[in-house]
């Protein structure tokens, strides 16, 4: 199997256990972008048993809570498609009214330019957020 999530080249893993991992996606336009990836190659949430699904949901909520408290975004987007990579993973993304694509999705049409100072400030907040997520998940799991 040639799945990019089963065999990633490079990932910035901020926390992991035997079931899943949380990574900070390195996207200069969207610094508050995290991905929660199930380690085993399954395609759908319904492929998980109830206990695993509850754990995944709890982790997604914790990542969102930390993003909200540390980055203070206008919105947090969750996305789970699997159309291109049919391996269970969730995108959790801090969104700001003045980011480059808002109100479009990050994969939509660009709406505006964002100055480098703003992007740098968001990156600083996102890096702090990654540390808090790591510590929070260590405490909970």
- Residue scoring higher pLDDT (76 or 85): 76
> Which contiguous run of DSSP H or E holds residue 76?
strand 75-79
Mean per-residue pLDDT for 92-115?
A: 98
Query: Each residue of 19-36: b (16+ CB within 10 Å) or e?
Result: ebbbbbbeeeebbbbbbb
Instruction: Please state which of the ranges 2-11, 32-41, 94-103 shows the lowest mean pLDDT.
Output: 2-11
Residue 47 pLDDT: 97
Taking alpha carbons only, the member of 75, 61, 60, 68 closest to residue 21 is 60
pLDDT confidence tier of residue 9, bands split at 50, 70 and 90: confident
HSE of 131 in the Cβ direction (CA atoms, 13 Å)? 6
CATH no., domain 13-134:
3.30.428.10
Query: What are residue 76's phi and psi, to 5 degrees?
Result: -120, 125
pLDDT confidence tier of residue 60, bands split at 50, 70 and 90: very high
């Amino acid at each position: 199997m040639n799945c990019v999530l089963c065999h990633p080249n490079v990932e910035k893993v901020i926390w992991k256990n035997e079931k899943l991992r949380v990574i900070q996606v390195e996207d200069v336009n969207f610094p508050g972008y995290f991905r929660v990836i199930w380690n085993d190659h399954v395609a759908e949430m319904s492929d998980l048993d109830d206990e695993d699904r509850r754990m995944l949901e709890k982790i997604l909520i914790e990542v969102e809570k930390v993003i909200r408290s540390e980055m203070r975004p206008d919105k947090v987007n969750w996305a789970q498609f699997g159309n291109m990579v049919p391996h269970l993973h969730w995108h959790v993304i801090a969104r700001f009214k003045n980011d480059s694509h808002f109100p479009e999705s990050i994969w939509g049409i660009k709406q505006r330019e964002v100055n480098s100072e703003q992007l740098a400030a968001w990156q600083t907040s996102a890096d702090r957020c990654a540390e808090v997520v790591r510590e929070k998940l260590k405490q909970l799991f």
